[in-house]
Structure 1
Amino acid sequence: MEVKCLVIYCKFAFLFPHGVIVKLQAMFLSPDNSKIVELVNALVEKKIGIVAHFYMDPEVQGILTAAKRQWPHIHISDSLVMADSAVQMAEAGCEYIAVLGVDFMSENVRAILDQAGFNKVGVYRMSSEQIGCSLADAASSSAYTHFLKTASRSPPSLHVIYINTSLETKAHTHELVPTITCTSSNVVATILQAFAQIPDLNVWYGPDSYMGANIADLFQRMAIMSDEEIAEIHPDHNRKTISSLLPRLHYYQNGNCIVHDMFGHEVVEKIKAEYCDAFLTAHFEVPGEMFSLSMEAKTRGMGVVGSTQNILDFIKNHLKQALDRNVDNHLQFVLGTESGMITSIVAAVRELFDAYESRQEGSNIEVEIVFPVSSDAVSKTSVNGSHRFGSSVADELDKLTIVPGVNSGEGCSIHGGCASCPYMKMNSLAALLNVCQQLPDEDNRLSVYKANRFNAKTALGKLVAEVGCEPILHMRHFQATKKLPDKLVRQVMHGNRGEPS
């Protein structure tokens, strides 16, 4: 097995793209100006905001990044921030929101806008077909319902559900077991706070089995830490409390992200053999071997495990430190998440290099992103030279190096090989332009593109949209106060059916 690499060498470099995904990365570096103009004109004229996920197609991200310089109501982030950004766009006067993601993301945006009083703002998805998600599907299965029925018979119980699930699932599970949503960046803090706040609590996490196993692994590691080390992670815990919560933490064992599932044994062995000195980054959804490897690196200050935003921030912070030191340096990062993240990393690295350009005096700082893939896509990387800050190289060479090649000549594709989500790639530039151009939808031609607004009712006769939003609002309260809301605590202690208002 070999690895596919995106290499960013200092500020000035030539471009050698090979393969499907890599060619789209090249498009990001010099997006089609006519497409930018076409998109911006439609956005400005019709007051359209755009929220997109980090895992978006590189070509689309490139256009959006360039368009944002002319129209500020464009935001690329992880799934949690997408809905918040949509609300801010509505507050700023946007009349429509285009969502580039999977369907549960557009559902969440629709519901949160309604909760914020912007029910007249239109929300549109980017495909006439269903844009699915393996995790969302796992949480809507009968097996997951059985998992929660078991939880309901073990009071007091709290269901911690990953944000990457449908609104309908959140509603139905909340009526079975009191539920709070979480993200990969706040799941550990949420669970630790829940155990600290509610005596004898049982926590049921799902649907991502790898993340559940990784959380359990992390808590087992904490159980042998000193009380002082544990207190730095959560002030209300110590070795005794961590040990006591271990048997009361349960996680669903039959759900995973089809993309992060690729970061298994084969990838880990290659990283150990050839990239043992690199910084390691891993999403919380990766298999246990990759998680353990990155956690070990983290203890040495050489790794990060968390969300897509955590990974991006980690890379940016280490590059900023190198730029502050202003000495020759080669930074090598292994990227343990979906390939779409490369585009945001390229943008962030270029922005930092541009910001520091006038302050550099001859230092040669190199950034290399190693992107591991399965053996279906193999590549070698070679770089012909690099340039220092202060170089007289013309501005037209101001490009980043992307130089993976593969034995087959095709490279990484959405049909297999590299860690690329086929669902996310259903959000095409053509679909975005089509939706924007047809708004306002006076003839209802875009009905299949509208985000779902759930008017259906739950088993207890409440609106799905209303009940489904409650676990999200519980999480927002936790993020703001670092405590579970009193209402959720009452729900856990008394059960949703008899919870006092």
Structure 2
Amino acid sequence: MDPEVQGILTAAQKEWPHIHISDSLVMADSAVKMAKAGCQFITVLGVDFMSENVRAILDQARFSEIGVYRMSDDRIGCSLADAASAPAYMDYLAEGSKSPPSLHVVYINTSLETKAYAHELVPTITCTSSNVVQTILQAFAQVPDLHVLYGPDSYMGANIKELFQQMTMMTDEEIGEIHCAHNKESIRSLLRRLHYYEDGTCIVHHLFGHEVVEQINEMYSDAFLTAHFEVPGEMFSLAMEAKRRGMGVVGSTRNILDFIKQRAQEALDRNVKEHLQFVLGTESGMVTSIVAAVRNVLGSAESPTSGAKISVEIVFPVSSESMTKTSSDQSSLGVNPGKIGDLMLPVVPGVASGEGCSIHGGCASCPYMKMNSLTSLLTVCHQLPDEKNTLLAFRAERFKSQTPHGKSIADVGCEPILHMRHFQATKKLPDNLVHQILHCTSNGRSCRGLSLI
């Protein structure tokens, strides 16, 4: 979200207990806690699949009377979620199901409807960018001759496969430190049975392509390099090379944040004057949490007895796709220019396609998440309770339809999430998921006929 929204809500947390800021995974759990504490209405600042998930989890927790509201009367989309909702994605799963035993590992950033429909085609477990590698490795270790179908993020799928390819160059001992059940032979074997969807991207991370890589090599070769798993392969390879030198990190937003905090702490421990430069290869909204974390780490540097003078700079390597060229009279715009090589471009609102750089969100900014503004939040809150039904378009959707096998979308769609939670707690796939994998075949027998409890 915009720094303004994040900043105000973070400050308000000190006075109001029912504010929760996190990724999409635990938002619904927090909503249940709020309902148990007596909240009658819950607003979700996110994209639509997040509010749908909150609505479904509250219903399953017997809080169907709690109102759940989105931040717009228009659709708040997500390019990844949309890719997984397309018929082509279900065709991809249907084709993959012809090679049993098979498991669908789906990115958490998809709708409940997608998870439900997918789970009736192929046994499905959700993943995050933090646990996707371990999920896949554990699945291959736990189920012999397994085929894994990953989706919908094509860049992440390709990057994971490249990561496993690089692991074949490691020693068995090094591989064992990543996952104790694997060695070079098992990694080579699983590569042939790992598949990923090839037509799904995040419109923000798509911007980190070859042009950005060239810019980093030219201008920021000495900087620390961070990259999300969703970036294109060129950026991924560059970040992996930096990681091998101890100068980079590849992974989730949490991995990136932890890396930056660790490097700041190490600089502080050296007790010297030092300037740290980080290239941020992910959505610009993350800078708010980075600033808060770094300030917390460097707080002790303000001590009179400390000789440390640490400064931290966050660099957004901007693609020309995310900029709009405007009048050369920049002073009249009241904004600062951004530089791409030798090309000077002003950073202005309202850029092409509604994405990229703007004074409201910075570079590599998600246009959908920016629909969650303070204005929209106040608009919704000031009209609650909605006695005149003026907020009907803002209400989170409750799934009334059923899956092709006649089951509740919410019930079936939540199962892959529960499978992941079991994995996070035990580091193993749950027995009922393994049972589904082994008994689902392509001869027309539905795995949904098995017990899912």
Shift of 1:403: 7.4
**1:46 counterpart residue number:** none
Taking a change above 3 Å as real, the CA distance of residues 408 and 295 of structure 1, as seen in their structure-2 partners, is closer
**1:52 counterpart residue number:** none
Taking a change above 3 Å as real, the CA distance of residues 313 and 86 of structure 1, as seen in their structure-2 partners, is farther
**1:84 counterpart residue number:** 29
Structure 2 residue 6 is the aligned partner of structure 1 residue 69: no
CA distance in 1, matches of 2:261, 2:36: 30
* CA deviation profile, 1:30-77 (whole Å, cap 9, x unmatched): xxxxxxxxxxxxxxxxxxxxxxxxxx1222112212212222332222
**2:409 counterpart residue number:** 464
**1:485 counterpart residue number:** 430
**8 A Cα contact 1:77 1:309, kept in partner:** no
**1:341 counterpart residue number:** 286
2:346 corresponds to which of 402, 406, 409 = 409
Aligned pair count reads 424
**1:432 counterpart residue number:** 377
**2:199 counterpart residue number:** 254
**1:155 counterpart residue number:** 100
Secondary structure of 2:68's match?
strand
- The residue identity in structure 2 corresponding to 1:68 is Q
**1:497 counterpart residue number:** 448
CA distance in 2, matches of 1:294, 1:360: 37
CA distance in 2, matches of 1:270, 1:499: 53
Shift of 1:452: 1.4
1:131 corresponds to which of 69, 72, 76 = 76
**2:135 counterpart residue number:** 190
Secondary structure of 2:393's match?
helix
**2:227 counterpart residue number:** 282
CA distance in 2, matches of 1:489, 1:132: 33
Secondary structure of 2:272's match?
coil
CA distance in 1, matches of 2:451, 2:375: 50
CA distance in 2, matches of 1:216, 1:147: 18
- The residue identity in structure 2 corresponding to 1:231 is G
- The residue identity in structure 2 corresponding to 1:490 is H
CA distance in 2, matches of 1:326, 1:72: 38
**2:243 counterpart residue number:** 298
Matched residues, percent identical? 71
**8 A Cα contact 2:336 2:347, kept in partner:** no
CA distance in 2, matches of 1:361, 1:303: 27
CA distance in 1, matches of 2:435, 2:292: 45
CA distance in 1, matches of 2:229, 2:394: 31
Segment drifting more, 318-327 vs 297-306: 318-327
CA distance in 2, matches of 1:265, 1:288: 9
Unaligned runs of 5+ in 1: 1-55, 380-401
Structure 2 residue 328 is the aligned partner of structure 1 residue 328: no
Structure 2 residue 252 is the aligned partner of structure 1 residue 307: yes
Taking a change above 3 Å as real, the CA distance of residues 434 and 360 of structure 1, as seen in their structure-2 partners, is farther
Unaligned runs of 5+ in 2: 326-334, 358-362, 441-446
- The residue identity in structure 1 corresponding to 2:250 is V
**8 A Cα contact 1:189 1:234, kept in partner:** yes
CA distance in 1, matches of 2:5, 2:20: 12
Taking a change above 3 Å as real, the CA distance of residues 435 and 230 of structure 1, as seen in their structure-2 partners, is same
CA distance in 2, matches of 1:103, 1:163: 13
CA distance in 2, matches of 1:357, 1:212: 44
Task: Give the alignment of 1:255-270 within 5 angstroms.
Answer: 255-270=200-215
**8 A Cα contact 1:281 1:305, kept in partner:** yes
Segment drifting more, 313-322 vs 282-291: 313-322
Secondary structure of 2:284's match?
coil
* CA deviation profile, 1:189-224 (whole Å, cap 9, x unmatched): 100000000111000000100000001000101112
- The residue identity in structure 2 corresponding to 1:479 is Q
2:148 corresponds to which of 182, 203, 222 = 203
- The residue identity in structure 2 corresponding to 1:497 is R
* CA deviation profile, 1:442-496 (whole Å, cap 9, x unmatched): 3322221111121211110100010000011111111111000111111111122
